[in-house]
Chains A and B, each alone.
Chain A
Amino acid sequence: MELLTAIAVGALFSIAIFQLLRRNVIRSVIGLVLLSSAINLFLLSTGAYQGLSAAYTDVVGQKSDALPQALILTAIVISMGGIALVLSMLYIVSARYRTSDLDEVKGLRH
């Protein structure tokens, strides 16, 4: 399970970074979404293997660590807001330049 998670995190990171560097705006946002998922999975894995039973239940045995789960909840909410904001700004920018290619957005080049 640990190996599987490690591979999944690594794969998500590599796909995310590849997509992030693409010129197409939608693809780069997809990269951002994947990146935040990769990080959330990484955070989850920091507390997942301490114990096998769920935190805050009556089950006996070592409880798993609940803090990373709480961190991820916060991080998910924040990244959702962030991605909504990115998409809205992208909408404005790409509507102004009538393109989805980030290389053509060059109003700031002096």
Chain B
Amino acid sequence: MNHHLVLLPVIIPLTGAALALLLGGRGLLGGRRLQRGQGLQGGQGLQAGWALGVMLTSLASSLWLLVQVSRSGQPVVFQAGGWPAPFGISLVGDLLSATLVVMSQAVLAAGIIYALGSQEQAVRYPAFYPLFLTLATGLTGAMLTGDLFNLFVFAELLVFSGTILTAISDDRYGTEAAFKYFYMSLLASAFLLLAVGSLYISYGTLNMADLARRIPANPGAPLLPVAIAMLLATFMIKSAVFPFHFWQPDFHTASPTAVSAMLSSVVVKLGVYGFLRMTSLLFVEQAPAIRALLVGLGVVGVVYGGLGAVGTHNAKRMLAYSTLAQVGFILVAIGWGDRLALAAAIIFTFNHSLIKAAMLMLAGAVASRAPVKTAAFGVVTGLGKSMPATGALFLVGGLALAGIPPTNGFVSKMVLFRSGIEGGQYASLAAVGVASILTLVYVTRAFQRIWWQPPLEGGKAKPTGDSLLAPALLIVAVLALGLWAAPLVELAQATADWLGSPAGYIQAVLGG
């Protein structure tokens, strides 16, 4: 029974998605026109409640997985169909996967809560909740699988769901942005498949543990550098890292708030997960070169994302650019690559997901009360007077994003800078440190525009808007993890230790 545990976080949302389609009632089959302002009723309400229940069950199962893994110190491995490891498909829940899955599913559950209280038309789309659950399945599966081709399949599931969820957005440019993203993602899957083929032809296996064992035995395979480059490109597109970033601000601005909060916080972390696996498991010998590249890309991302965020005129777009910068911090930490830096990368990844999801939900909540539904500063300036609660939450979230105590953002930045000092990485640390001031600049600017400036001519906030429950929950988590940071820091350090010894992973999957 124990090794079936790793299946649950994947199976529960997938089954839930299929059943949610049936629960939609007259939604899919009746094809009725959806009208603005219509409340959740009948089949829709049932479907939404079901989706939330499924997501919470799944979150419970992934928490259980994390507890199991961190207690025993050994990953939970499931061999699909009973085929032994290099031949069948393995699902591996090790510390890294389990931590990231708990993070993702917690934020995804908050996303469903936000969607329940959202005024947007998009959440009343009959397939919204089923797609949300398949998005969860794709993300979870991609993090838990131990097989490269399986990773491709789950990543495609993630991309398809994300694309459709954005294409149905209330924003009139949703379809365009989704189209752009989907094109880039098809290219990413092309790169991934090329990497899969190159590795298969060189080493005759696609199991990640088996690859990790065979690559050091034959590091001179002619197609190995090709595979590394292709995998890097794949994960760079997934994480919107600097040269492949251009679709990201459009995509994350145009999607429905509940979805963009997921895309910009947890979905981009798939690439981070990929980089961690590449440098600590698959290509350990080639890791120094990959790390050097990641530090460079990370610094560029931090500076570029920060400047981009300062220069935008839309709160949601600003937060999307800020994701570029924050992912940059994580890449720099992965690039430094020693134990403390890896722990910093994991803490940063975890904390940023919570902060960014909350901030995007708050920006969406402000936009939902704007006269025209947009988060553009030209419209929302001064609207904050009538929503002090949103302002307070936004302020805390903003401080967390900038890394000011007592929030969890402070913890992640502190560990990151300390690891940089201890690792002696002064040049990149200085660049990142200076650029992180930009975070404070754009966050305070947004806060000041929305809450402190006088309202614009004719700018009157609507009396009701999206529910604040989900961002409030996330902000509570942000503060809790800031004040009581020890468990997460210890977990991240244990994970970094685990990543330092790939032999354990290989042995757990292949046995013997």
Contact = CB atoms under 8 A, between A and B. Distances in A.
B190 A110 contact: no
A90 B194 contact: no
Given A46-B200, A110-B313, A39 B160 contact: no
Interface of B: 149, 152-153, 156, 160, 163-164, 167, 172-173, 175-180, 182-183, 186, 189-190, 193-194, 196-197, 200-201, 206, 250, 254, 312-314, 317
A62 B24 CA distance: 52
B190 A43 contact: no
Interface in A51-89: 67-68, 71, 74-75, 78-79, 81-82, 85-86, 89
A28 B184 CA distance: 13
A47 interface: yes
Contact of A85 (B182, B193, B313): B182
A67 B313 CA distance: 51
B230 to A, nearest CB: 11
B456 to A, nearest CB: 19
Contacts of B193: 39, 42-43, 75
Given A46-B200, A85-B182, A108-B180, A35 B175 contact: no
A86 B167 contact: no
B112 to A, nearest CB: 23
22 contacts: A32-B183, A36-B186, A39-B190, A39-B197, A43-B196, A43-B200, A46-B197, A46-B200, A46-B201, A71-B149, A71-B196, A81-B160, A82-B182, A85-B163, A85-B164, A89-B175, A90-B179, A93-B175, A108-B177, A108-B180, A108-B254, A110-B314
B207 to A, nearest CB: 11
A6 interface: no
Contact of A47 (B173, B176, B180, B200): B200
A42 to B, nearest CB: 5
Given A35-B190, A39-B190, A107 B172 contact: yes
A93 B176 contact: yes
Nearest to A97: B176
Given A75-B152, A78-B153, 4 more contacts: A46-B197, A78-B156, A82-B186, A89-B182
A36 B254 CA distance: 28
Interface residues of A, number: 30
Nearest to A40: B193
Nearest to B254: A108
A35 B201 CA distance: 20
A107 B173 contact: yes
B189 to A, nearest CB: 8
A81 to B, nearest CB: 7
A110 B177 CA distance: 13
A7 interface: no
Contacts of A79: 186
A92 interface: yes
A105 B182 CA distance: 16
